[in-house]
Amino acid sequence: GENVEQHPSTLSVQEGDSAVIKCTYSDSASNYFPWYKQELGKGPQLIIDIRSNVGEKKDQRIAVTLNKTAKHFSLHITETQPEDSAVYFCAASPTGTASKLTFGTGTRLQVTL
């Protein structure tokens, strides 16, 4: 089955700096890669996703890049703000949909003033 590795496990940045979180996956059949943000006591919330026919996708301060050859994808957050502080999870699915996601272990992002 699919295995998703995520790093770093914790990341501390100053407000206004950029943050990068990286994930690798093992199943070459995976073709859908979402990123979820989880705040304390809440369920995960989708922030951006990318499909395997696209190399990069951007939504305001958030971008995701995908390298299918190397089987890795990354989340980039620019101009970080305190409200970006949360746990971020990457995930992968071989179905092209969110029907069966394999999640990474999470990155706790702390944005300091």
Residues that bind another protein (CB under 8 A): 4, 6, 34, 41-46, 49, 89, 91, 96-106
Q: Quickly count: other Cβ atoms within 10 Å of residue 113's Cβ.
A: 7
**Residue number, 77 or 90, with CB nearest to another protein:** 90
- Smallest distance from another protein to CB 57, Å: 13
Amino acid at 60: Q
Least spacing, CB of residue 61 vs another protein, in Å:
19
Nearer to another protein among residue 80 and residue 106 (C-beta): 106
Q: Is 10 exposed, middle or buried (0-12, 13-18, 19+ CB in 10 A)?
A: exposed
Q: Which residues pair with 7 in a beta bridge?
A: 22
> Is 40 or 113 the residue whose CB approaches another protein more closely?
40
Nearest distance in Å: CB 43, another protein:
3
Instruction: State the greatest distance between any 2 C-alpha atoms of the chain, in Å, as a whole number.
Output: 41
